[in-house]
Amino acid sequence: MSASSDHAYKYRVAFGAWINDMRLTPLPLEDWPAPVLDDDTVAGITRALDVQSAAGFTHLDVWGLFATFGWPTDLTSAVDDGRRKRIHRILQAARDRGMTLSYGMGVYSWGYDKILDADPAVRGKLADGSPHPHAMCDANPKSFEYVTRILDFVLGEFDFGAVHLESCDLGCCQCPECAGGKGMVDYNCRLNEKTADYIKSRWPEKTVYVITISWIPIFTTFSQAELDRVVQLGDHIDCLFDQGHTGYQVAPEDRAGFLSRLKCAYGTSGGRWLYPDARWDRGSYFVPFPRYAAETIRREFDEGIRASMFYQGPMSNPGVEVNVSVAGRVLADTRRHADDALAEVLEVLYKPVNQDARARLLSIFERGEEAFFGQWDNERFVKDWGRPMPGEFHLSQLFGTEPGAAHYLLDPFLDAAGRKACKAELISILEDIPKLAGQCEDDGRLEKIERGAIMTINLINTISVLKGES
């Protein structure tokens, strides 16, 4: 898909985030993030690439192709022949669709657990001086050697177009020579600068971007001194992502001044997103938000945002498929309104035969979005959690080894009245689906919406019975 550079986000990244988050079949007993890379993983990613490429995304950013928590110390044994072939198949599938893959790279954090066990000299420290469970220490030069060895191995053999650097998601070393010295922001900038410089020196054509997750406590924003430091990091990379899991780290009032000084692009994840759950039945929920996504993408473009890491999920879920399809189209042309992009997507995916069917379909997605998000209340989040509405939210708890409880249908997301209203909207959708019989060539998608609505109503009714709600 062509994109007008005057009106398009430059970096339109479909963020996987992990290899099995896009899987079409569940892994009900696998803890997050599931490391398996089998033919079903490849099938889910390939299906996602179909949707992403049609929507105009440029990159698929996916973690876990080689390792999750722990690279082996020799690195190369992370991939046997079967895994190697599957990685190459995924890379080829992206190229065939005019996209490229981003390598998700932990910098000192994510991927080093086995290395820390085998080579304790590189293990970082927590603030109280005790051993860090996941992070390396930059005071030992061997730590950076592990980073460059991983890059040499991955970028030497596998044709990634970009590298996503993430230095603090599992924490940072807090010793005086690391974050315990000049602070978290300076330390993370330092690590990412030298890693980006290394990549650019060896592979100048690779796009390099950094996300700032966990650099500062949640619900806080960068100070002026920290913003100054991040501006310097911008000289070394192509894009900086302030995703917004719990609000943006660059405060709204600082954004314009910060962007005027930042040499690289600045990106977000579109304001709000549902993080997929690989342990759940992939079709058991229906949470479309194409209108919110489109409106946020357009507004943020006007504010100077030029990059997006838009979260993905299983494309067999009709809500996920429409969210991604609409968001990609608006990212590629921010002149498009939500209604316009959604109407095109429904035309392509559902092929309604007449105007009545077209209008009914559109209404199903509008009611689907309203069913859930129409019940969110910022004051309730503040009251229950002491914090505003989340950027990222989950169906259930992230970690676990069984399909978890439906937290997204509980307070503070939905209270008793919210559950009742949500159920009423879903019932109205169930009433409409039979009226579309023979009116669409939807390849089974309407049946999937029905299934998601039925299972959600099952859960809401179960919660309501247990809570004694009328």
Nearer to Zn ion, 178 or 422 (CB): 178
Strands (E), 19-173: 59-63, 100-106, 123-125, 131-136, 162-166
Residue tagged 């069913």 (tokens):
371
Nearer to Zn ion, 139 or 433 (CB): 139
Q: Which of residues 135-164 bind Zn ion (CB under 5 A)?
A: 137, 139
Contact in structure between 200 and 208 (CB atoms under 8 Å): yes
Burial 184-202 (b: 16+ CB within 10 A, else e): bbbbbbbbbbbbbebbbee
The residue range among 41-49, 173-181, 198-206, 364-372 that interacts with Zn ion, by the rule CB under 5 A, is 173-181
The residue range among 4-12, 131-139, 233-241, 382-390 that interacts with Zn ion, by the rule CB under 5 A, is 131-139
178 binds Zn ion (CB under 5 A): yes
* Other residues' Cβ atoms within 10 Å of the Cβ of residue 360: 18
Pairing of the two strands 307-311 and 11-18: parallel
The residue range among 130-138, 184-192, 239-247, 434-442 that interacts with Zn ion, by the rule CB under 5 A, is 130-138
Closest of 119, 19, 124, 112 to residue 70, by C-alpha: 112
Nearer to Zn ion, 28 or 181 (CB): 181
Structure tokens at 365: 């997605």
The residue range among 53-61, 129-137, 199-207, 260-268 that interacts with Zn ion, by the rule CB under 5 A, is 129-137
Least distance to Zn ion, CB of residue 30, Å: 32
116 binds Zn ion (CB under 5 A): no
Nearer to Zn ion, 132 or 336 (CB): 132
**What are the residues facing 125 on neighbouring strands?**
131
Please identify which residue in 60, 62, 170, 173 interacts with Zn ion, judged by CB under 5 A: 173
Least distance to Zn ion, CB of residue 139, Å: 5
Least distance to Zn ion, CB of residue 216, Å: 18
Number of alpha helices (DSSP H) and beta strands (DSSP E) in the chain: 15, 12
The residue range among 71-79, 169-177, 278-286, 404-412 that interacts with Zn ion, by the rule CB under 5 A, is 169-177
107 binds Zn ion (CB under 5 A): no
126 binds Zn ion (CB under 5 A): no
Nearer to Zn ion, 25 or 140 (CB): 140
Distance (Å, rounded) from C-alpha 121 to C-alpha 136? 9
Distance (Å, rounded) from C-alpha 277 to C-alpha 20? 9
Contact in structure between 275 and 394 (CB atoms under 8 Å): yes
Distance (Å, rounded) from C-alpha 254 to C-alpha 247? 14
175 binds Zn ion (CB under 5 A): yes
- String marking each residue 283-322 x if it binds Zn ion according to CB under 5 A: ----------------------------------------
The residue range among 33-41, 171-179, 360-368, 457-465 that interacts with Zn ion, by the rule CB under 5 A, is 171-179
* Other residues' Cβ atoms within 10 Å of the Cβ of residue 465: 9
Least distance to Zn ion, CB of residue 176, Å: 8
Q: How many residues bind Zn ion (CB under 5 A)?
A: 5
Distance (Å, rounded) from C-alpha 19 to C-alpha 36? 8
Structure tokens at 367: 């009611």
Which residues in this chain contact Zn ion in the complex, by CB under 5 A? Answer: 137, 139, 173, 175, 178
